[in-house]
Amino acid sequence: MAECDHCGSDVVHVWKHRRATDTMTYRTTEWLCSGCHPEMGEVFAGGHC
């Protein structure tokens, strides 16, 4: 099992998400479940964690 960096739930799959930092110069990599990921949530509608 993997852990979502945003909600902390143990899930089967996590997806890589790169978001801009506060300075907008760098990006931070996060591993998110389908419910927390901004694009995968649309693909897996209703499948939060």
Beta strand ranges found along 2-47 (DSSP E): 2-3, 10-11, 15-20, 27-32
* Residue 28 forms part of a structural domain: yes
- How many domains does the structure of the chain reveal? 1
In-domain check, residue 38: yes
Residue 4 to residue 33: CA distance in whole angstroms: 5
Domain contains 49:
no
Reported as a single tens digit per residue, the pLDDT across 5-49 is 999 999 998 989 888 877 777 888 899 998 888 877 566 555 554
Instruction: Give this prediction's pTM.
Output: 0.66
The single residue listed with the structure tokens 């479940």 is: 33
Is 45:5 a contact under the CB 8 Å cutoff? no
6 falls within a domain: yes
pLDDT of residue 27: 87
pLDDT of residue 4: 93
* Structural domain contains residue 48: no
- pLDDT (0 to 100) of residue 22: 79
Longest dimension (CA), the chain: 34
Is residue 23 one of the residues assigned to a domain?
yes
18 within domain boundaries: yes
Q: Look up the domain containing 20 and give its range.
A: 2-43
Give me 37's structure tokens. Answer: 């990921």
